[in-house]
Amino acid sequence: MSKFLSDNAAPIHPALWEAMRAADHADNPYDGDRLSAELDERFSDLFGRDCAALWVATGTAANCLALATMCQPHGGVVCHEEAHIEVDEGGAPGFYLHGAKLMLCPGEGAKLTPEGIAALIDPIRDDVHQVQPHAIAITQATEYGRSYATGELAALTDFARERGLGVHMDGARFANAAAFLGGSARDAAGAVDSLAFGFIKNGGMNAEAVVLFDPEQADLVRYRRKRAGHLQCKGRYLAAQILAMLEGDLWLANARHANNAAQDIATGCGDRLMHPVEANELFVRLTPAEREALRAQGFEFYDWGADAARFVTAWNTRDEDATALGKAIAAL
Amino acid sequence: MSKFLSDNAAPIHPALWEAMRAADHADNPYDGDRLSAELDERFSDLFGRDCAALWVATGTAANCLALATMCQPHGGVVCHEEAHIEVDEGGAPGFYLHGAKLMLCPGEGAKLTPEGIAALIDPIRDDVHQVQPHAIAITQATEYGRSYATGELAALTDFARERGLGVHMDGARFANAAAFLGGSARDAAGAVDSLAFGFIKNGGMNAEAVVLFDPEQADLVRYRRKRAGHLQCKGRYLAAQILAMLEGDLWLANARHANNAAQDIATGCGDRLMHPVEANELFVRLTPAEREALRAQGFEFYDWGADAARFVTAWNTRDEDATALGKAIAAL
Amino acid sequence: MSKFLSDNAAPIHPALWEAMRAADHADNPYDGDRLSAELDERFSDLFGRDCAALWVATGTAANCLALATMCQPHGGVVCHEEAHIEVDEGGAPGFYLHGAKLMLCPGEGAKLTPEGIAALIDPIRDDVHQVQPHAIAITQATEYGRSYATGELAALTDFARERGLGVHMDGARFANAAAFLGGSARDAAGAVDSLAFGFIKNGGMNAEAVVLFDPEQADLVRYRRKRAGHLQCKGRYLAAQILAMLEGDLWLANARHANNAAQDIATGCGDRLMHPVEANELFVRLTPAEREALRAQGFEFYDWGADAARFVTAWNTRDEDATALGKAIAAL
Amino acid sequence: MSKFLSDNAAPIHPALWEAMRAADHADNPYDGDRLSAELDERFSDLFGRDCAALWVATGTAANCLALATMCQPHGGVVCHEEAHIEVDEGGAPGFYLHGAKLMLCPGEGAKLTPEGIAALIDPIRDDVHQVQPHAIAITQATEYGRSYATGELAALTDFARERGLGVHMDGARFANAAAFLGGSARDAAGAVDSLAFGFIKNGGMNAEAVVLFDPEQADLVRYRRKRAGHLQCKGRYLAAQILAMLEGDLWLANARHANNAAQDIATGCGDRLMHPVEANELFVRLTPAEREALRAQGFEFYDWGADAARFVTAWNTRDEDATALGKAIAAL
């Protein structure tokens, strides 16, 4: 049986277990420990610009805490109509942003474009009766496994600057996007204001990083993280996970592995692919009978509507399983 | 050097490491895994009454999620004026309860009594201009290391029923209270409506249990947990910690160890004790010079105001360190 | 010059001035006065079923306070995608409902139907990752001047009961709908759970009624009204406006007058009408040149997109102005 | 029968009725009318410094909207422990400030002092576990009818600047304080950042002004006012009330009348006075028997605890009633 259900329940990478065990000594509580203290510098190095980085246990919290630095309670956040923050976070943005509004924008492959956003927000009357946009949230890689190329990102952040909007990047699968785009975290993040850098889907247990490219916002996030009950007293175990991921670019290696497995499968999919495979997710047109046939061969995956399926690879997907799945699809 | 700073940064108990490693296989994400599924039953057994139990990463979140089942945004929660939720949770109740009010009550040893609460709430006019109390929050053991005895608890919960108020118990050090009171979780919880059962200070990494003695409230907490970004996708590692703690009453053994160490230290404190030692915390009158003398001997601890110190023992406090500290204090 | 811009800035009806002046004596503050005390009974009589009624100064507050009785912060309210609460209330529902979500449904004439709502909510997975609907909000008359007939209302409220959803009616122009439907408040409200009964657009100054058909919800609204700063200390002047409106069915007479004026205009519109005229609003296809021609004749109104205009009549629209407008449009 | 219950339910001053009637013509809705447009300039003239001024229907809303410009959801507002915002506004600050905390400070006569505030906030640890103060709220005149003199105000605002805190003034009875202090609005407001300038207790119907001495904050208040359902569509009637109050300093004349009546009563109170009479409220030691005796003579007033009474005068208190009350108390 080989699983392509999701990357979000995969085992922990051995290097992270080791790092957590190594942190198993008394140290200062909360984020006063030696490991947490390293984060700002490590991420500043990685991105080549000053940033502050704080651990948090989930991507939902990471996204919301970052958005709170750029959207006031009476404002709005433009996001794709299928964005995770809109569809799958249980209304968390409404909670963390104290009732601010998500403003839903269509877009191919779950991507936003300046044109699409302009079409959404230009008709908003500049008066108090209508909620005004304060920020834009994009997902890298997107909910359909697409990656924003450098030029696309620049177009979005330029547009945002022009309109006075902040830009947050939901990076639950940021590593997969970065791997696809050539391996540079810097390029994959572009000039966004904040990034929820995901590690959990990439081999972590329960640590994501809120990366703030305006380090002056860190204080707000620190207070809000505590206020949201997300300041763990043994935060060193979260910092340990993140540092182990950054060490020797493990985050990139894991993502490359998953992406490669996805490409292997893609080889067998041909015209069945609903979206180009630019990360570690595949959306594949498959009839119910075809899906049944695959499941009979031991492959596990989710249906995607009535006539398709979603396959997700992970850091621990076995090459032979991916190859087998690709072949099985090709043979249908 | 021996540390009595706090129990909140102690290492993880080996049994929990083992349990987490054993959970390191693919399973259903979030709380759909086999371990999370066991929690309700295990806690129902422990407390001898039907309850629902949900993991969450911090005590702050556990307290607030439970309080949200019993206090509406326009209501108030009566708590001690030195309660952790008032003093040390960064305003989290204001966030989770959408602006509800903490109503502060004095009381010896950070304990509440029906009389004290009545004195606070009876003068509240029964009109819309004044915030009405919806719930009571107590801490077991209290912020001064005191434990509510069975009769005290019963008096409080009877009073609450009479007034139509819910009762939540902050059990960050519930195990220490239960150990002090004779070892029965049931007695230590009395008839409260909800309990934030703490494991982190007792050898856990980042898992507490929200225990709801009205299981019908579980749904509300489940939705709110997700909405607060506290639904981890690899929740099985949190469930694993909790189950390992319950297994063979490890929670109780760890707490007994810490309590015993505290009693050892207490032996040397005599009249210096500001509060009876009924858990694993000691508040000891010590002049600055005396504190300096103790620190010179390698003991680490926090000042408590100008003329006292706080010592906290933990599951891993070495007996010899506790004994040495008690002697050192006695010798001052 | 004759104005058809909106009914929301019209003068106060003389009977209301009189009633307010008659209330200009010392009385109990807030809603403890003799006039406010009459509201429950007067509205119960009007609707032929027990209800509680509270004054509030704006429709926005009335809608939000009512919705708060049926939607929890983690839930959602289904409304039309062009509903006033979504488009024109500055995000007030997000504020009053503490971050709950508006779930947007299309529908002809800004009307909702059971089928449309089912299509929206049936795909929502019954899990904590997705916001669940708690309530439905409809507008009577709708944002396009359409009125829900008795059967349409019954279908919606039956559907809501079946799904366990509350139903709120935004009645900013409830009087116009009731007048169109034959004059029965009871029929125009159907079996909804709450109604924001608007008087301001119908000749009032600043008093709407929150009508709760489950009177047990009144307490919640009373506390929330105060908490929102909407409990005026001289509430008797608001109660006076409302009672004067109910007296001798002035509310209905005013609405009939406005509706008749709208029908007069409609006579001249023919195929230009974008929606049947079922209240006091007309949406009329008019080119820019045609609009200019009308304005040159002294008619004031708002553009409605590029190729249409909106005309609104009011309690004080002069018959001759309406007739003149109808003829002017016919003559284009 | 002569009433000294409160000034909050007194009739409307004739000049305001006249002004409202004069506004009874069609005009732009909301605050787009000609009267609302005058407010900024009129208040800037009155205070001798640039300010923005917005009408709102209640003091509760005025206070909360102003506080939202200076306190973030995770912060705190220092106020007197008997401040109206803490005791009598139904938790409105918790709602409007999204869960921010009121930090309660004692102080004679319901007054705050820099020393008192420092004693409250200096012990707050500068870390995320404790809510940090963002603002100070004072009441002019205070809840005990005391007025802050120029020097007292300057000391408070200097202290606030030093600590980086905003200062809001609840001016429900600002006019009475200004009248007591010599008649200068400027002196009575000192260098606060915002003022809820009350008119309702001074002869208005339902209009207070939020005065923002940093006009850049006006936009935030405008959006939040709408979001709170406080943007009335016929706002011109509120603006009319306020302008009529400012016209010829009617606000001051009304307040002087009320203050004089209070002084008349005070003449008869001698040692019975619990607080100096510096506005239009008197707190008078009176036994139950004495209160009964006064009530038997036709005087109406509220008990103030077991052994005192509160008397409030208003713009319409008859001189002979005040004199009679003073004599009646003296004769006890």
- pLDDT tens-digit profile of A19-38? 999 999 878 999 999 999 99
The answer to whether D29 faces chain C, any CB pair under 8 Å, is yes
**Alpha-carbon gap, residue D99 to B92, rounded angstroms:** 8
Burial (CB count <10 Å: 0-12, 13-18, 19+), residue A296? exposed
pLDDT > 70: percent of chain C: 100
Among B128, B220, B227, select the one facing C223 at the smallest CB separation.
B128
pLDDT at A2 over 90: no
**Alpha-carbon gap, residue C33 to C18, rounded angstroms:** 18
The answer to whether B131 faces chain D, any CB pair under 8 Å, is yes
What separation in angstroms does the CA of C60 have from each of B7, C31, D270? 50, 20, 50
- The length of chain C is 332
What separation in angstroms does the CA of C55 have from each of C65, C253, D59? 11, 21, 17
Global pTM value: 0.97
Q: In chain D, positions 226-285, which contact chain C (CB-CB < 8 Å)?
A: 226-234, 236-238
Amino acid at D277: V
Token pair recorded at residue C72: 């929890």
What separation in angstroms does the CA of B161 have from each of A239, B70, B193, B250, D321? 45, 13, 10, 33, 49
Q: Which helix (H) or strand (E) holds B308?
A: strand B308-312
Strand partners, D5: none
**Nearest one of A172, A145, A174, A140 to A156, comparing CA atoms:** A140
User: pLDDT tens digits, chain D, 332 residues: what are they?
Assistant: 588 998 999 999 999 999 999 999 878 999 999 999 999 999 999 999 999 999 999 999 999 999 999 999 999 999 999 999 999 999 999 999 999 999 999 999 999 999 999 999 999 999 999 999 999 999 999 999 999 999 999 999 999 999 999 999 999 999 999 999 999 999 999 999 999 999 999 999 999 999 999 999 999 999 999 999 999 999 999 999 999 999 999 999 999 999 999 999 999 999 999 999 999 999 999 999 999 999 999 999 999 999 999 999 999 999 999 999 999 999 99
Across C28-51, average pLDDT? 97
Q: Which helix (H) or strand (E) holds D115?
A: helix D114-121
Token pair recorded at residue B57: 């990463």
Residue C54: the pLDDT is 98
* Chains with at least 3 CB pairs less than 8 angstroms from chain C: A, B, D
Is there a contact between A14 and A205 (Cβ–Cβ < 8 Å)?
no
- For residue B225, the chain C residues in CB contact (below 8 A) are 128
Is there a contact between A329 and A269 (Cβ–Cβ < 8 Å)?
yes
- Report CB contact under 8 Å: C225, B128: yes
Scanning every residue of chain B, which has its alpha carbon at the shortest distance from the alpha carbon of C95? B98
Amino acid at D194: S
CB atoms under 10 Å from CB of A264, counted, come to 20
Which residues of chain B register pLDDT less than 50? Answer: none
CA distance C203 to chain D (A): 11
Q: What domains are there in chain C, each with its CATH number? A: 2-8+250-330 (3.90.1150.10), 13-248 (3.40.640.10)
Is there a contact between B79 and B69 (Cβ–Cβ < 8 Å)?
no
Across A250-279, average pLDDT? 98
The answer to whether B1 faces chain A, any CB pair under 8 Å, is no
Helices (H), A88-149: 92-96, 114-121
The answer to whether C223 faces chain B, any CB pair under 8 Å, is yes
- The length of chain A is 332
Strand partners, C235: none
The answer to whether B26 faces chain A, any CB pair under 8 Å, is yes
From its phi and psi, is residue A197 left (phi > 0), alpha (psi between -120 and 50) or beta? Answer: beta
Among D94, D99, D129, select the one facing B88 at the smallest CB separation.
D129
**Nearest one of B186, B185, B209, B189 to B199, comparing CA atoms:** B209
Is there a contact between D208 and D309 (Cβ–Cβ < 8 Å)?
no
pLDDT digits (tens, 9 = 90+) for C137-158: 999 999 999 999 999 999 999 9
Q: What is the ipTM of this complex?
A: 0.97
Residue B25: the pLDDT is 86
**Alpha-carbon gap, residue C262 to A312, rounded angstroms:** 59
- The length of chain B is 332
The answer to whether A94 faces chain C, any CB pair under 8 Å, is yes
Scanning every residue of chain C, which has its alpha carbon at the shortest distance from the alpha carbon of B232? C129
CB atoms under 10 Å from CB of B105, counted, come to 21
Contacts of C286 (CB under 8 A, 6+ apart): C272, C294, C307, C308, C309, C329, C332
CB atoms under 10 Å from CB of D267, counted, come to 15
- For residue A74, the chain C residues in CB contact (below 8 A) are 90-91, 95
Please, what is the average pLDDT of chain A? 97
Three-class SS of residue B87? helix
Residue C1: the pLDDT is 58
- The length of chain D is 332
**Alpha-carbon gap, residue A146 to A176, rounded angstroms:** 10
Is there a contact between C63 and C196 (Cβ–Cβ < 8 Å)?
yes
pLDDT digits (tens, 9 = 90+) for B31-62: 999 999 999 999 999 999 999 999 999 999 99
Residue D1: the pLDDT is 57
Please, what's the b/e burial string for D99-133 (b: 16 or more CB within 10 A of its CB; e: otherwise)?
bbbbbebebebbbbbbebbeebbeeeeeebbbbbb
Residue A315 DSSP one-character state: T
- For residue D99, the chain B residues in CB contact (below 8 A) are 91, 93-95, 97-99
- Report CB contact under 8 Å: B100, D89: no
CA distance A224 to chain B (A): 8
- Report CB contact under 8 Å: D223, A129: no
**Nearest one of D83, D13, D5, D11 to D247, comparing CA atoms:** D13
pLDDT digits (tens, 9 = 90+) for A174-224: 999 999 999 999 999 999 999 999 999 999 999 999 999 999 999 999 999
pLDDT digits (tens, 9 = 90+) for A289-331: 999 999 999 999 999 999 999 999 999 999 999 999 999 999 9
The answer to whether A99 faces chain B, any CB pair under 8 Å, is no
Contacts of A320 (CB under 8 A, 6+ apart): none
**Alpha-carbon gap, residue C94 to C100, rounded angstroms:** 6
Q: How far is CA D160 from the centre of its chain?
A: 20
Strand partners, D329: none
**Alpha-carbon gap, residue A22 to B90, rounded angstroms:** 30
**Alpha-carbon gap, residue B139 to C246, rounded angstroms:** 54
Interface test with B, best of C72, C127, C128, C226 (most B CBs within 10 A): C128
**Alpha-carbon gap, residue B325 to B276, rounded angstroms:** 18
